[in-house]
Amino acid sequence: MWPVILAGGAGTRLWPLSREYKPKQFLPLPGGRQTLLQQTLLRLQGLDCGAPLLVCNEKHRFLAAEQMHEIGLGQGQLLLEPCGRNTAPAIALAALMALDGGNDPLLLVLAADHLVLDVSAWQAAVRAARALAQEGRLVTFGIVPDHAETGYGYIRRGAPAGAGWRVRQFVEKPDAATAQAYLDTGEYYWNSGMFLFRASRYLQALQASRPGMLEACRRAWATRTTDLDFIRLAQEAFEACPSESIDYAVMEHTTDAAVVAMDVGWNDLGAWSALAQVQPADAQGNQLQGDVLVHDVQSTLVRAEQRLVALVGVRDLVVVETRDAVLVAHKDRVQDVKAIVRQLQDAGRDEHVRHREEFRPWGHFDSIGSGTRYQVKKITVKPGGRLSVQKHHHRAEHWVVVSGTAQVTNGDKTYLVSENQSTYIPIGQVHCLENPGVIPLELIEVQSGAYLGEDDIVRLEDRYGRI
C-alpha cells in the first residue's frame, strides 16, 4: 500500500490565516505544533505502507519538504504540479509513477488538510478496505454523519460488499431538509475524499470514462524531470490536461465503486465554522486563542495572532487577527469569506496570496514596514542556509546583523558581518548572504529604490534550484 497525499488545495475559506503561498494544510490547525500535513503523514504510522508520495504545487515545494523533514520523513517523494488540475489528474500521475517503478500497489489517497481525531479507528477502516481494493474495487471512505450537514457531498450505500457496501449513488451538497432526510435513513455517509484502489485499476477506470485526460497525464508524465528531491512536470504539458475531480471523472461512472464507513472524528476544516466544531469552548461557548479579552460575549471564536483583541457584547462571531488583516464574520456567513478573497483578487492586492512572513528554503523573512521608496524586513537564515547569488536593478540594500554571523559576498569581496555590524549592497551589485554558523542568523534589511517588488531578483546561482 502506497500513500498518496494530495496537498494542492488553496483553503480560501480560512482566510486570512490560509493564503495562496501558505494554505491550510501547512498550518498548525486546530491548534498545537503539528500542521495538518504533518498530522496526515503521522497518521500512517502503524500501517503496512511505503514512504508517502506528496503531490503539491510547485510554489509550496520547500515548505512541504521542510515539514516532512521536521517529522523525520525526509525519505518521502514530492511530485510538483506547475498548476492546479484537481484530483483526478493528480491521482493518475501517482498511478503512472507507481507502475513506472515496476509495481502495482494499492494507492491510499488522502487529502493533506483534513482532521482525524480517532487515528486507531481510521487505521482499522483502512485495513478493512484492503480486501475490497485487492478485488479490484474502487473504494471510497464514507464518514458516519452525526448531524444534518449541508456543506458536504454524500454517498448512498447499496448492497453489502465485504467490509463495506457497493456505492448506490453520489449526491451533491443538499439543503437542510434533504440533509436531515439523508440522516434519518441511515443509508448516507459524508463524502470524505479518501480512496483506496490498485494503481492499474484506477487507470483502467479513467481510460473508460476520461480517455483524453489519461492521455494528457501520460504526456505530462513523459515530460518529468528530477530536481533535488522533487519530481517536476513541464508546465505546458500539464496545463493541457483537463481539470476535474476524481468523483466526477471516475467514481460516478464506475460500477465497481465501494464505500467503507468511518466514524473517526473527521472534519475537513473547510471553513471557520468547521474549526469551531473541533475546538474546546469555555462556559460561554467561546473559543479564544491568543491575547484575547471578552466581556458579555457568547458562542464566538477569536484567534489573535499578533495583537490584543477585545470584544464586548457580541455573540456568534468569528474574529481572526493576523499581522496584516482582521476578519470579522457572523458564524452563519463564514462560507462567504471566499467573496472577500475574490475582492482582493479583483483589486490586484496580495493579502490573499502571501502572509507578511514568508518562508524560503534558506529560512524566512517578515516584512516589517514599507513606504515610498523603502521597505524594511527582518530576515532569518537557518544554519547552513544560503540565499542565491543575485543582483537587483532597482534597489539597494542595507543589512544590520542582530544575532549570529553573516558571510557576505559583495561584488568581488567576501567577508563576515557580526552582531551590531552592518554592510551596504549598491544597486546592480552581485551579492550573496550565507549563515556559516550553528545558530540562526537574524538581520534587518532596509531596501531603498524606485521599485521594491520580489520579482526584481536576478538569480545567477542558487543551491536550491530556483530560477
Tens of pLDDT, residue by residue over 224-236, are 998 777 899 988 9
- 75 pLDDT more than 70: no
Cross-strand bridge partners of residue 410: 413, 431
Contacts of 226 (CB under 8 A, 6+ apart): 232
Q: Give the domain-ending residue among 307, 341, 375.
A: 341
Do 250 and 294 share a domain, yes or no?
Answer: no
pLDDT for 169 equals: 93
pLDDT for 74 equals: 63
Do 257 and 293 share a domain, yes or no?
Answer: no
Do 326 and 384 share a domain, yes or no?
Answer: no
Q: Can you give the residue range of the structural domain that contains 331?
A: 272-341
Q: Which residue has the higher pLDDT, 72 or 419?
A: 419
pLDDT for 62 equals: 85
For residues 102-108, average pLDDT: 94
Do 422 and 294 share a domain, yes or no?
Answer: no
Do 114 and 18 share a domain, yes or no?
Answer: yes
For residues 200-218, average pLDDT: 96
Do 194 and 244 share a domain, yes or no?
Answer: yes
The mean-pLDDT minimum among 66-75, 257-266, 422-431 falls in: 66-75
pLDDT for 401 equals: 97
Per-residue pLDDT tens over the stretch 266-299: 999 989 988 888 889 999 999 999 999 999 999 9
Decide: 168 and 156 in contact? Cβ < 8 Å: yes
Look at residue 188 and tell me if it is in a domain: yes
For residues 434-461, average pLDDT: 94
Q: Give the domain-ending residue among 267, 285, 312.
A: 267
Q: Give the domain-ending residue among 234, 267, 300.
A: 267
Look at residue 351 and tell me if it is in a domain: no
Looking up residue 219, the CATH number of its domain turns out to be 3.90.550.10
pLDDT for 355 equals: 85
pLDDT for 243 equals: 94
Look at residue 19 and tell me if it is in a domain: yes
Do 317 and 299 share a domain, yes or no?
Answer: yes
Do 221 and 120 share a domain, yes or no?
Answer: yes
For residues 205-229, average pLDDT: 92
For residues 330-358, average pLDDT: 92
Name the band, by pLDDT with cuts 50, 70 and 90, for residue 354.
confident
Look at residue 448 and tell me if it is in a domain: yes
> Mean pLDDT in the chain?
93
Look at residue 352 and tell me if it is in a domain: no
Do 248 and 395 share a domain, yes or no?
Answer: no
Per-residue pLDDT tens over the stretch 361-402: 899 999 988 889 999 999 999 999 999 999 999 999 999 999
Per-residue pLDDT tens over the stretch 49-72: 989 999 999 889 888 988 998 898
pLDDT for 343 equals: 97
- 467 pLDDT more than 80: no
Looking up residue 412, the CATH number of its domain turns out to be 2.60.120.10
Per-residue pLDDT tens over the stretch 149-174: 888 999 999 999 999 999 999 999 99
Do 378 and 245 share a domain, yes or no?
Answer: no
Decide: 106 and 197 in contact? Cβ < 8 Å: yes
State residue 168 phi and psi, 5-degree precision. Answer: -90, -35
- Give how many domains the chain has, as a whole number: 3
